[in-house]
Chain A
């Protein structure tokens, strides 16, 4: 059986270094993140040092290196959300989940990501959890939002 990454790489015969970003995007789409293993596979495939790929990938916000949690939290840091206090919201969520953006909680339930603009400015400050939007988030409402999800797990 071919691994998901091998299947992706198969679609890039004779690929050169310029295919790196599209390949990484496909890998992330398929795995949900760039695992170490996948980066090494891509590195062997493109004959490019893994450190270089890691360097390139960390340059772009779109790539993550930890497995997403069961619930993927996106915090909008667009202009409208910013004006209405998304910085504080993000800070509170980081404190509450004890992770930084790009990371996944120890229990693997939540992962956190910062996005430029979700396109729901009317709901600012807004966060989305597995695609469900939560509008006008305040420091007070954060706990109850997350508890709802956590309660589904027990």
Chain B
């Protein structure tokens, strides 16, 4: 049964169980929020979303208050507006005034609130916040001085990622967000997923920048500077330049990267195909030889570090495959270097990732050959946009180009790695072929598609029932691992991504990513898969060539050396 409420003297319907905010939003009415995070329990901490409810003495926080039949609500009375404005003025009173130098200048929610609430003079001034920057992490920079204590990062880290690396520390006016014992993020449990950056309203959290180093290397004539980009980048980058969400601007991006000065432009979807060759072979090998099952994917470095910290006992279940970024890096500095006659030490290898954890992964000591890193620097989608602007490239005017051959050619199976369920689907397609020698009749595995945090399916291959599960958000992974530990035997293969929905929602994606843009990005990836001719990794002609000319066979000696890795237990807190 629907409820009737009266909002600003108009009668509106609401649904039982709605908060006031839900009901307002459904009718296209906005009230500002700050601590509120869609899908998580309301915390009611910031009081930005207050409204006036008839019969109630105090203003009510609309994000946490359930609607009741007959409620009379004022969303923009003088009292309400004044109250919201005062909150913003208080938040500004101790905020460092360096918007012009701030990463989030233009995308800051505090700036927007000040603008929307017409804060145009400084009525309240306090001592400016003064905290040390935390630059200890390979992936994330924290600037607690800019923190307005909304608590969103703390809740995402705990409720979505199950990590709780950061917490409110201290009390009263001395409260701030920090790790346990005020140690740097690098020695905390942080898995570098960057989901905290995605929810932070201000410049208090950002990625560790790699742009400057790349600029220097681009200017160095002794270096061959190459770049690879992850599957989702060709789509999510579009939003940074005002194209509509979901638009694939891969061709334009290839051209832009060449204008910037990258000598070779490669597509990480190629090495995603390579990952599938190795990983699907590994799965088949484990299933047919009684190896450790369920096998779990290892392409998400957030998940890998999480497993190393919290799930030691399942480390043998992790696929030994390096991630596509690292496989590409290893192939560039071996196969490609050899073919082009370049000394690997003279190659500077950059990747563009939707991910902050890739910056950590790139620095792992396992990810080197003879002391040379597989990958030298990692840009997030946001940083790539900055680099393109820095070099004055007009994305509306340049004509699309192709990536470089052979490491720029992919199947669409490699492309769908960008969304939760994609790795699974690509692996099933090839595993089916490896076991039966035949292609699937229907390539789509709909049960593992979509943005749900947990998806499961049963796939029949040669009369063998294979159980698969796909989770995103490490809290969901934790729950599933517990089930496996408690004896679930019907799952043979698990895909885990730290970011909810997969890489399209990675911690390096454009600020302001929301459900709508996620759906558009996902749709676009699956459309590419729909239209492309080569839908399976093992049919990528350049992958076949790579094995013929260089690697030999999947899981062979060279693969083992270049494309596989191992994991270490980590004792952190």
**B160–chain A nearest beta-carbon distance, Å:** 14
Residues of B within 8 A of A65 (CB): 181
Q: Are A40 and B573 in contact (CB under 8 A)?
A: yes
Residues of A within 8 A of B171 (CB): 58-60
Residues of B within 8 A of A59 (CB): 168, 170-171
Residues of A within 8 A of B188 (CB): 51
Residues of A within 8 A of B167 (CB): 49, 51-52, 54-55
Indicate whether A91 reaches chain B with its CB closer than 8 angstroms.
no
A-B pair count, CB < 8 Å, reads 47
Residues of A within 8 A of B164 (CB): 49, 51-52
Indicate whether A6 reaches chain B with its CB closer than 8 angstroms.
no
Contacts known (A50-B573, A51-B188, A51-B189); A39 close to B181, Cβ less than 8 A: yes
Residues of A within 8 A of B93 (CB): none
Indicate whether B402 reaches chain A with its CB closer than 8 angstroms.
no
Residues of B within 8 A of A39 (CB): 180-181, 573
Cα distance, A41 to B167, chains bound together (Å): 18
Residues of A in contact (CB 8 Å), total 15
Contacts known (A39-B180, A49-B189); A58 close to B573, Cβ less than 8 A: no
Indicate whether B165 reaches chain A with its CB closer than 8 angstroms.
yes
Residues of A within 8 A of B166 (CB): 51
Q: Look across to chain A and name the residue whose beta carbon is closest to the beta carbon of B164.
A: A49
Contacts known (A43-B573, A49-B164, A59-B171); A54 close to B189, Cβ less than 8 A: no
Best-buried of B158, B165, B167, B179 by chain A (most CB within 10 Å): B167
Q: Are A51 and B165 in contact (CB under 8 A)?
A: yes
Indicate whether B461 reaches chain A with its CB closer than 8 angstroms.
no
Residues of B within 8 A of A53 (CB): 180
Q: Look across to chain A and name the residue whose beta carbon is closest to the beta carbon of B182.
A: A54
Residues of B in contact (CB 8 Å), total 16
Cα distance, A49 to B180, chains bound together (Å): 9
Cα distance, A83 to B34, chains bound together (Å): 41
**A55–chain B nearest beta-carbon distance, Å:** 4
Residues of B within 8 A of A52 (CB): 164, 167
Cα distance, A58 to B171, chains bound together (Å): 7
Cα distance, A40 to B571, chains bound together (Å): 11
Q: Are A55 and B168 in contact (CB under 8 A)?
A: yes
Residues of A30-89 whose CB lies within 8 A of B? 36, 39-40, 43, 49-55, 58-60, 65
**A23–chain B nearest beta-carbon distance, Å:** 16
Residues of B within 8 A of A36 (CB): 180-181, 573
**B178–chain A nearest beta-carbon distance, Å:** 8
Cα distance, A82 to B555, chains bound together (Å): 74
Give the interface SS of chain A, mostly helix, strand, loop or mixed: helix
Indicate whether B169 reaches chain A with its CB closer than 8 angstroms.
yes
Residues of A within 8 A of B165 (CB): 49, 51
Cα distance, A60 to B174, chains bound together (Å): 12
Q: Are B181 and A55 in contact (CB under 8 A)?
A: no
Q: Look across to chain B and name the residue whose beta carbon is closest to the beta carbon of A37.
A: B573
**A17–chain B nearest beta-carbon distance, Å:** 13
Q: Look across to chain A and name the residue whose beta carbon is closest to the beta carbon of B162.
A: A49
Cα distance, A53 to B168, chains bound together (Å): 10
Cα distance, A29 to B459, chains bound together (Å): 59
Residues of B within 8 A of A49 (CB): 158, 163-165, 167, 180, 189, 573
Cα distance, A51 to B169, chains bound together (Å): 9
Q: Are B180 and A50 in contact (CB under 8 A)?
A: yes
Residues of A within 8 A of B179 (CB): 51
Residues of B within 8 A of A58 (CB): 169-171
Q: Are B180 and A54 in contact (CB under 8 A)?
A: yes
Residues of B532-573 whose CB lies within 8 A of A? 573
Best-buried of B168, B179, B189, B573 by chain A (most CB within 10 Å): B573
Residues of B within 8 A of A51 (CB): 164-167, 179-180, 188-189, 573
Cα distance, A35 to B440, chains bound together (Å): 59
Residues of A within 8 A of B169 (CB): 54-55, 58
Residues of B174-213 whose CB lies within 8 A of A? 179-181, 188-189
Cα distance, A58 to B573, chains bound together (Å): 16
Q: Look across to chain B and name the residue whose beta carbon is closest to the beta carbon of A55.
A: B167
Residues of A within 8 A of B170 (CB): 58-59
Cα distance, A60 to B169, chains bound together (Å): 10
Cα distance, A43 to B181, chains bound together (Å): 13
Q: Look across to chain B and name the residue whose beta carbon is closest to the beta carbon of A36.
A: B181
Cα distance, A55 to B176, chains bound together (Å): 10
Q: Look across to chain A and name the residue whose beta carbon is closest to the beta carbon of B179.
A: A51
**B181–chain A nearest beta-carbon distance, Å:** 5
Cα distance, A59 to B163, chains bound together (Å): 21
Q: Look across to chain B and name the residue whose beta carbon is closest to the beta carbon of A48.
A: B164
Residues of A within 8 A of B189 (CB): 49-51
**A36–chain B nearest beta-carbon distance, Å:** 5
Cα distance, A115 to B573, chains bound together (Å): 30
Cα distance, A71 to B366, chains bound together (Å): 48
Q: Look across to chain A and name the residue whose beta carbon is closest to the beta carbon of B171.
A: A59
Contact with A along B421-434 (1 / 0, CB 8 A): 00000000000000
Q: Look across to chain A and name the residue whose beta carbon is closest to the beta carbon of B157.
A: A51
**B140–chain A nearest beta-carbon distance, Å:** 15
Cα distance, A140 to B75, chains bound together (Å): 60
**B132–chain A nearest beta-carbon distance, Å:** 15
Contact with B along A130-149 (1 / 0, CB 8 A): 00000000000000000000
Cα distance, A43 to B188, chains bound together (Å): 14
Cα distance, A5 to B166, chains bound together (Å): 25
Residues of B within 8 A of A43 (CB): 573
Cα distance, A91 to B219, chains bound together (Å): 54
**A78–chain B nearest beta-carbon distance, Å:** 18
Cα distance, A60 to B573, chains bound together (Å): 21
Q: Look across to chain A and name the residue whose beta carbon is closest to the beta carbon of B181.
A: A36
Cα distance, A50 to B180, chains bound together (Å): 6
Cα distance, A49 to B573, chains bound together (Å): 7
**A34–chain B nearest beta-carbon distance, Å:** 10
Residues of B within 8 A of A40 (CB): 573
List 29 contacting pairs A-B, 8 Å CB cutoff, sorted by A: A36-B180, A36-B181, A36-B573, A39-B573, A49-B158, A49-B164, A49-B165, A49-B189, A49-B573, A50-B180, A50-B189, A50-B573, A51-B164, A51-B166, A51-B179, A51-B180, A51-B188, A52-B164, A52-B167, A54-B167, A54-B180, A54-B181, A55-B167, A55-B169, A58-B169, A58-B171, A59-B168, A59-B171, A60-B171
- 4 nearest interchain CB pairs? A49-B164, A55-B167, A50-B573, A54-B180
Known: A51-B180, A58-B171. 17 other contacts (CB 8 A): A36-B181, A39-B181, A49-B165, A49-B189, A49-B573, A50-B180, A50-B181, A50-B189, A51-B166, A51-B188, A51-B189, A51-B573, A53-B180, A54-B169, A54-B181, A59-B170, A59-B171
